[in-house]
Amino acid sequence: MEINFPLILVVLTGISGVMWVLDKLVLRRRRGDAAPSAVVEYTAPFFPVLFVVLVLRSFVVEPFQIPSASMVPTLQVGDFILVNKFAYGLRMPVTQRKFVDIGEPQRGDVMVFFPPNDPRYFIKRVVGLPGDHVQIFDNQLFINGEKVEQRRISTPYLAGYGYDIVEENLEGSRHLIRKHRVPGRLGRRLSVVVPDGHYYMIGDNRDNSSDSRDWGPVPEENIVGKAFAIWMHWDDFFSFPSFDRAGKIK
């Protein structure tokens, strides 16, 4: 079962906030110099810290860890990233309802979101905007009939299956992708028009990514934020954290 951390944080902040108000404005005047109750004493002091964490996490920046290889080579399993929570507008915690409109996703952005009918966080690249005609033929991407420029960088091998590392230029967003020379199921043939208010998301590991090609375009209200930096890499508890990969996400 997925833990709804935003909801837990909101509930804890609300409870500690009520206790803090009671302590500061009501109970203190009534009891004079008497000690506060155990509930108030152990709950109220957490409110300022929880409130700051809630504000920063909901409206400024939120950390995530990459759990899968769907964004290789851009993001590796074990990368710790930072997500800008206001790049696409301010949203209420838990409900994700936007109340301040700041900007919109652009082609090439790396975005964190909730897929349709799935409560888990996903991270992919924005390939199609509302109204775009997205096509794929043998792992070659086309947007509105225009071929997206791809330049092969290297051709390493993995477990006997050949794949290419390619630099893709998506309207000025230059980034690396990985694709098999013999396209897999999702890279053979695709043609879809992105509905209004939706975005088409595809992983940079084109033949090893569950994305919009599987479960469809992502509704605007499911957006969480824009991934903009790697700040640490840590494989597991048996290794040491590394900062060699720290930097801006392209």
Residues with a catalytic annotation lie at 70, 124
Distance CA 121, CA 110 (A): 13
CA atoms within 13 A on the CB side of 197: 3
Residue at 202: amino acid letter: I
Which contiguous run of DSSP H or E holds residue 110? Answer: strand 110-113
Other CB atoms within a 10 A radius of the CB of residue 165 amount to: 15
Burial bucket for residue 194 (CB in 10 Å: 0-12, 13-18, 19+): buried
Instruction: Write the DSSP string, 149-191.
Output: EEEEEE--EETTEEEEEEEEEETTEEEEEEEESS--GGGSEEE
Q: What residues contact residue 37 under an 8 Å CB cut-off, 6+ apart?
A: 27
Is the Cβ–Cβ distance between 205 and 177 less than 8 Å?
yes
Distance CA 52, CA 193 (A): 42
